[in-house]
Amino acid sequence: MKTNALLLATATLLAVAPLRAADAPANWTKHCASCHAADGSGSTRMGRQSGAKDYRDAKVQAEMKDDTALKALKDGVQAKGKEVMKPFKDKLSEDEMKALIAHMRTFKK
């Protein structure tokens, strides 16, 4: 009986893991791509207006620290007293935000 329960729990975890992996790209598309572009280039109209960085650039990636990116996702970004990125603390969990940061890292050339 315990073996069956363990096998069921393991199978469930293995089945859910690929779904969680899809969360970051889906969240990127839903929440980020309109400004940062699907490829992380920031080459959208909104991205150009707000000064979105090109996450494909190795230098930009090197300068971006995970804790700073997480704070920006949680609290949003202000520039010259104007909100240039809205906060996501009420829309995404911390794990989802960390997954988005990891996803951003995949854009580096």
Which pLDDT tens digit goes with each residue over 49-96? 999 999 999 999 999 999 999 999 999 999 889 999 999 999 999 999
Nearest to 36 by CA among 57, 63, 20, 66: 57
Q: How far apart are CA 52 and CA 84, in angstroms?
A: 9
Q: Are 44 and 37 in contact (CB under 8 A)?
A: yes
Q: How far apart are CA 74 and CA 21, in angstroms?
A: 21
Domains of the chain: 2-105 (1.10.760)
5 pLDDT tier (thresholds 50, 70, 90): low
- What the block records as the tokens of 31 is 């929440």
Which pLDDT tens digit goes with each residue over 30-51? 999 999 999 999 999 999 999 9
- What the block records as the tokens of 19 is 């779904």
pLDDT at 17: 46
Helix 2-27 with 94-105: angle, nearest 10 deg: 60
pLDDT at 64: 95
